[in-house]
Amino acid sequence: MADPSTFRDSTQIVLPASALEGIREDVEAEFVVTIFEPEDSEVVRIIGSPVVIKEVSEFLTRHGISLP
């Protein structure tokens, strides 16, 4: 059976909240994703299907945001 973290890695991107400053609205408008930002944390989780997450990754890279 596959490791659950493998599936999680393909359905979410975890970034510092500051990384989305100025482009968060563009991400939400262009892609079908949920951006989850817990109040007690300085990270955001962009959650979506594996196909959409790959597209968001490419979008973020084009905008100079390096992904872990």
Residue 68, in any domain of the structure: no
Residue 45, in any domain of the structure: yes
Q: Residue 47 in 3-state DSSP?
A: strand
pLDDT given at position 36: 94
Print the domain residue range for 43.
4-62
Amino acid identity, position 31: F
- Give a yes or no: residue 38 inside a domain: yes
pLDDT per residue as tens, the chain (68 positions): 555 555 556 789 999 999 999 999 999 999 999 999 988 889 999 999 999 999 999 999 999 998 87
Confirm whether 67 is domain-assigned: no
The verdict on residue 33 lying in a domain is yes
CATH code for the domain of 46: 3.30.1370
Domain total of the chain: 1
Residues 18, 47 contacting (CB under 8 angstroms): no
Task: Provide the pLDDT for residue 67.
Answer: 83
Report yes or no: 13 and 53 within 8 Å, Cβ to Cβ: yes
**Cut 0.85: pTM above it:** no
